[in-house]
Structure 1
């Protein structure tokens, strides 16, 4: 475990992850381009879920590279990377199950979003987030669920329109689980690892 933690904080690994996440963030915003063009201005900050999650983690990595912590971004990244990482994996698998077809981009999204959730958990021992930071991330996340499934601004997946209620319900519980993981990280890390 100690070796893994040392590897994760190696500056070469941090820089590699920063570059990969920055590129993924830019691609993610591009992926949402057509939906953002028809989205009312007031909802735009809450529509591109996954790239915003990876953007939060970009700020976390930038702090780590400088041997610092950014607890508010750590909380937002932890909650949203886990939530939207798992969510996209499930939605793409569901798309394949419902339609019988998944383009290559869908498989790429499964791999990249699975990695999003994984990196959030792997770096959890280094977070210095507090309960107040987790609460702020929780408010953002549940508000985002309202925007997505009350105001119907959720990410559009072909073939899944008939299952919007079930997806909304799944997303609500996924938000609770993701906030719970961040809460656990905040409680567990109070007296453990600090970046020096």
Structure 2
């Protein structure tokens, strides 16, 4: 059994592995919302309520992927047009959000370290989990129904999220060392939204060829 087996259809769609992946993502999503708890409280106390959904970026990304896994675990039969469109958008959000925030978190952690932040075991746990987010999204996109149009809709959400984050200051907490680089972080984040769309589009292209 070669290493390629571990990204084969037989392995990735094995129900035992899908359930394991579902539980890992569900637990990670819950942990992520807890991790954002303080920022959510501060935002609720100082900002309009409509900004709250824009605060917890990574756990919302893993929530979308967790929902996408349910479609693989329980393949739906004939769906209405609305339900079918909802599935396409959820899967597209699972892909672009997971790629974006998986990469974003890792870059911010090491950018902070480069400017003097001291990393601990939690940082490395976050690095591993966020790289896993990006990797699983790109591995599973070939089993999803999402198309280019749905990816474009999902990427519009990313750009809206970026606009709210850096206009109203509800972006995720950064290492203290990066607070004076917020303009650079902003443009990197916006560029990463576009790059996530391109990664998703390339993955869809690969799906068609295979």
Q: TM-score, normalised by structure 2?
A: 0.85
Matched, 1:59 2:39: no
How far the C-alpha of 1:105 sits from its partner, in A, is 1.2
Report Cα offsets for 1:38-84 as digits up to 9, x if no partner.
Answer: 11211111110000000000111011001359322110010000000
How far the C-alpha of 1:157 sits from its partner, in A, is 1.8
Q: 1:171 aligns with which of 168, 172, 189?
A: 189
Secondary structure class of the residue paired with 1:150: helix
The question of whether the paired residues in 2 share the 8 Å contact of 1:21 and 1:54 is answered with: yes
Q: Which moved more, 1:151-160 or 1:58-67?
A: 151-160
Q: Could you say what the CA RMSD is over the residues aligned between the two structures, in angstroms?
A: 1.8
Map of 1:98-113 to 2, 5 A cutoff? 98-113=115-130
How far the C-alpha of 1:191 sits from its partner, in A, is 7.4
Q: Which moved more, 1:50-59 or 1:95-104?
A: 95-104
Would the alpha carbon gap of residues 111 and 2 (structure 1) be closer, same or farther in structure 2, given more than 3 Å must change?
A: closer
Tell me, in whole angstroms, the C-alpha distance in 2 between the residues paired with 1:102 and 1:191.
42
Tell me, in whole angstroms, the C-alpha distance in 2 between the residues paired with 1:100 and 1:42.
33
**Structure 1 match to 2:81:** none
Q: Which moved more, 1:118-127 or 1:91-100?
A: 91-100
**Structure 1 match to 2:94:** 77
**Structure 2 match to 1:29:** 33
Q: 1:45 aligns with which of 40, 45, 53?
A: 53
The question of whether the paired residues in 2 share the 8 Å contact of 1:124 and 1:185 is answered with: yes
Tell me, in whole angstroms, the C-alpha distance in 1 between the residues paired with 2:192 and 2:168.
19
The question of whether the paired residues in 1 share the 8 Å contact of 2:138 and 2:200 is answered with: no
How far the C-alpha of 1:168 sits from its partner, in A, is 0.8
The question of whether the paired residues in 2 share the 8 Å contact of 1:145 and 1:171 is answered with: yes
The number of equivalent residue pairs is 192
The question of whether the paired residues in 2 share the 8 Å contact of 1:128 and 1:190 is answered with: no
Would the alpha carbon gap of residues 2 and 128 (structure 1) be closer, same or farther in structure 2, given more than 3 Å must change?
A: farther
Q: TM-score, normalised by structure 1?
A: 0.91
Tell me, in whole angstroms, the C-alpha distance in 2 between the residues paired with 1:183 and 1:64.
20
Map of 1:109-124 to 2, 5 A cutoff? 109-124=126-141
The question of whether the paired residues in 2 share the 8 Å contact of 1:75 and 1:133 is answered with: yes
Matched, 1:20 2:36: no
How far the C-alpha of 1:190 sits from its partner, in A, is 5.0
